[in-house]
Structure 1
Amino acid sequence: MGLAEDCIQRAQCIGCKKIFKSGDKTHGTSTLRRYMKSCQLLKIHFHDIGQMIFDVDGKIRSKKLDIELAREVFASAIVEHDCPFAFAEYSGFRKYHKLLNPDASVLSRNTMVSDINKLYVKEKYKLRQVMTSIPNRICLTSDLCTSCTTEGYLCLIGHFVDEKWKLKSKILAFEKMPPPHTGFELTQKIYEILKDWGIEKKVFSLTLDNASNNDSMQDKLKDQLTMHDSLLCEGEFFHIRCSTHILNLIVQEGLKVANQSMHKIRESVKYVKSTESRMQNFKSVWLKLLALIPQLAYVWKIERLLKAGLSDEDTLMSGMCKKMLEKFDKYWSEYSVVLAFGDILDPRFKLKVLEKLYAKIETDPTKCKEKIELLKTKLHKLYDQYASVIGSSSSQLRSSNVTHSKVESQKVVTTLGKKMDILDVTDEVVTPVEISELDRYPILSRMARDLLAIPITIVASESAFSIGARVLTKYRSSLLPEKMQTLICTRNWLHGFEPDCDDVDKVEQVNEGDEGDGADEGDEVDE
């Protein structure tokens, strides 16, 4: 306790709070040691004086573990490693637990479920506070899957940039979705989830695959959110189509033309894998051919390759390219404007790069110019919307920011459109911007947070389904849907989408989109 007025050290019993003199030749530690053995409150508090130790500061403390903290850590480990709730009742674990602390109470399955539920509620509250406090909006991805028990599950994931400009992807719901899976039912379910998280007025975009029920759902959800004035620009940039799903449809369309060729390829693979020597010879040739395979990194490059393939001398290749180009035009005849905004805000690309890309695809200079002007017009429109929203919600923002937003947006496009040679894009060195400097551009920084958080695929949902397939297996098929959501969401909030390498081969999940039972659940419905 330090020195008293008489310049003598004082010590206080942490059991009964009685104060003693200590620390000099007259008042040593013998009195304290004798009192420790007789103080009843000290014994009640620590159960056993032998369990008290001196720490590095010379203070007496208990060496007993914090039971609540230990149970929370154990619950987190159960969630992380997909262990059953009954793991706490395994005889081997109980022997180990008893060895560490003979006085600790034995955990049961029900206790484990309760601890995991507490952890779920705690982490959900923390995530909800983060999402409701950030100034920017939330981008969503959603998909359906069928579990090994043939039950349908809806997965909804939120993507956002936090205060430190780190991209976060968090599972908001992994709920059982009973049939029918119509657009109306999906709309009601997703809107309920958004209201539960308190972000129904903070949604920016929703990324979906091309199932017809998803098209119906996004229309209804957009109307509902627009009715409550929750979307920017009346939801013009709300719906984003999954790029990987479209690319898969394009490839599948081309493979239909090459069925016989694919059969020959499969037979060739069987022949090569039949002996080790054939496999070695094949690998030596294959490594030389890898450099010739084009990397389809951009949508515009895919279109260029398909158009070039139309004039191929091989009728099989030209036929494949024709079918694939038809599917390409169905979904990508007009490039996504909102994704182009992301490229403009990327300091490696900016507006000049997009102008060159459009010029390579569009042979008519007039049409190319019209597309660029349309892009600028919509960028102005979105910027003005952000300016009005921020101006009305922030007292620190001067009214001139709203009044002259059109002038500012023109400066933004001009600045973003600085000259940059497309050939030097990958070599461009971008100087990092301090987060404090972004406060100088509140409208642009808020806009960039939302646009750069848009996911172009639903891969995150597929990752969630992979986790779900490890949690709900044929050996654990009686797990309730509520517990399923608790385990999957808590694992994601604590550990992200980190895969368990030992369980990768165990994943057995089937997308409803891949084997839809009706027109409202199919991958694609041609009109």
Structure 2
Amino acid sequence: MDESHTGDAIANQIFEVIRDFQIADKILSITLDNASANTTAIKILTPQLQSYIKGYIVHHRCVCHIINLVVQDGITVANKFLNNICAAIRFITCTPQMILKFAEYCRAHDKRPRKFRLDMKIRWNSTYHMLKSSEGCEELIIISVNANAKDLGLVLTDADWFIARQFREFLIPFYAATNVLSGVYYPTTRLVIDYIWLMAESFSKYRSDSLLKTVVDPIELKFLKYFEQISHKNCFEYGENEIDSHVPEPNVDISDTSITAHLWNRAKGKDPAASSSSQRWNPNAELNHYLSTNFAGSDRALRGEKYSFPVLARFARDILVIPVSTVSSEATFSTVGRIIEERRSSLAPEMVEAITCLKDWKRAEERKQHQLEDLKIEFAAVDCWLM
């Protein structure tokens, strides 16, 4: 979008795409990040997209975006503990001479020379990558940096690394959640509660840690803002309430207007066996039959069960297809990772421009600008200025 990202502009853009592809009667959910303008856009769109489930659209806020907001609150505090390590890694990778010198330290200690990921303030997971890539090289980094302490103006200690290791361990569930929930080749809706639980366990483990308390507290506070009412217990209670309030009693006409009832009715209406039967039906029968069935065996055998549970299969398909993240769709149209720019490196602007042009010209010559994966491009860019 070239214009300002207001709620009206976003709604118009989404509706234009929907109209072009003629899918207005097929929209069940729209996944957007947590910006207030997106909430406004959904409110504008909802009256125009009523035909699929009669006036209800699932506005799914991107879970990965929320995780980013949650972790960023703690990264700001953690920087004061990690500044020495960030400065140290930048120092040993800032010039070819320092890279060569560090490689000599590694070989002298029978270690393979290694390149390290750099911390970027605009990406919290870069902090995790930096700490992960330096794992096992802590002592060598201390030796290398402290040998040049006068030039660098800092002394690195084991205490710095101890805090860094603790913080990296704390971040593992958040990093794993971001990776898994941004996937596109498998349903992610059913995985959200599992990773929320893992993140909650990380808080339980580290909230009393005297070293990390000041970092964990703001992250947990933001986490509770979004997820406080979600737990396994609440999910079970919610499921029971949904069944109790939305599923009609046997032999009673369906008149409930909830999204659950509409989706179930839509799925039932598309099943020839169900639609040819009486309109009065027991909605618990198929679900109870499913829950009492032993699905031991291969995935292929399990997938074949959709013929035994046609209505439930369609119902589950509509729900599970909802993406919980916008990461993959944003990455498709994003230039992030494909270029080096001033705010993403330590290079002078002129060098950034030169490297960007050279890389693009080389890929253009081979007609492969679009074929490198973002991660490979990121490493390629790092190699350009490290070597």
TM-score, with structure 1 as normaliser: 0.43
Deviation at 1:441, TM superposition (A): 2.2
Which residue does the alignment assign to 1:389?
266
1:332 to 204, 208, 227: 227
Q: Distance in 1 between matches of 2:232 and 2:302?
A: 32
**Selected match of 2:70 from 240, 250, 255:** 250
Alpha-carbon distance, 1:401 to partner: 6.8
Q: Which amino acid aligns with 1:452?
A: L
Structure 2: gaps spanning 5 or more residues: 112-133, 140-161, 178-194, 248-257, 340-352, 358-368, 382-387
Aligned to 2:146: none
**CA distance 1:399–1:467, shift in 2 (3 Å):** farther
- What residue in structure 2 maps to residue 221 of structure 1? 45
CA shift for structure 1 position 200:
0.9
Distance 1:387 1:329 in 2: 32
CA distance in 2, matches of 1:258, 1:300: 23
What letter matches 1:268 in structure 2?
A
CA-atom RMSD in angstroms = 4.3
Alpha-carbon separation, structure 2, partners of 1:469 and 1:284: 27
Provide the C-alpha distance between the structure 2 equivalents of 1:300 and 1:502, rounded to a whole number of angstroms. 32
Q: Which residue of 2 aligns with 1:301?
A: 198
In the alignment, structure 1 segments of 5+ residues that lack a partner are: 1-176, 336-356, 360-366, 421-427, 476-490, 508-527
Deviation at 1:430, TM superposition (A): 4.6
Compute the displacement of 1:393 (Å): 5.2
* CA distance 1:259–1:306, change in 2 (3 Å): same
Counterparts of 1:218 and 1:383, CA distance in 2: 20
Distance 1:391 1:246, change over 3 A: closer
State how far apart, in whole Å, the 1-side matches of 2:325 and 2:235 are.
27
For residue 206 of structure 1, give the secondary structure of its aligned residue in structure 2: strand
Does residue 370 of structure 1 match 2:192? Answer: no
Greater fraction strand: 1
Query: In the alignment, what sits opposite 1:97?
Result: none
Question: How many residues of Structure 1 are paired with residues of Structure 2 in the alignment?
Answer: 269
How far apart, CA to CA, are the structure 1 residues paired with 2:306 and 2:239? 27
CA positional deviation for 1:408: 3.0
**2:49 corresponds to 1:234:** no
SS at match of 1:293: helix
Counterpart of 1:318 in structure 2: which amino acid? K
Q: Secondary structure at the match of 2:25?
A: coil
Matched, 1:460 2:344: no
Deviations 1:366-394 (A, max 9, x none): x6763452365588565542342244456
Deviations 1:246-294 (CA, angstroms, capped at 9, x unpaired): 111111100122232131221232355442245576654569x989936
The residue that corresponds to 2:343 in the other structure is none
Asked if 1:204 is matched to 2:31, the reply is no
| Change in 2 beyond 3 A, CA 1:283/1:254 | closer
Map of 1:449 onto structure 2: 317
Partners of 1:376 and 1:233 in 2: CA distance? 21
CA distance in 2, matches of 1:249, 1:390: 37
What secondary structure sits across from 1:239 in the alignment?
strand
Superposed, 1:4-15 pairs within 5 Å as: none
Letter in 2 for 1:302: M
TM-score (norm 2): 0.56
Instruction: Say whether the 8 Å CA contact 2:11–2:45 is kept in structure 1.
Output: yes
The residue number in structure 1 matching 2:16 is 192
User: What whole-Å deviation, never above 9, does each CA across 1:37-73 have from its counterpart, x for those lacking one?
Assistant: xxxxxxxxxxxxxxxxxxxxxxxxxxxxxxxxxxxxx
1:4-403 → structure 2 map (5 Å cutoff): 177-226=1-50, 229-231=51-53, 234-235=56-57, 238-271=58-91, 273=93, 274=98, 275-278=102-105, 284-285=136-137, 293=169, 295-296=172-173, 297=177, 298-314=195-211, 317-335=212-230, 358=232, 370-374=237-241, 376-377=243-244, 380=247, 384-392=261-269, 397-400=274-277, 402-403=279-280
Matches within 5 A, 1:394-413: 397-400=274-277, 402-408=279-285, 410-411=287-288
Preserved contact between residue 25 and residue 52 of structure 2 (Cα < 8 Å): yes
User: CA offset at residue 462 of structure 1?
Assistant: 2.7
Deviations 1:292-326 (A, max 9, x none): 93641411110121233222223xx1122111111
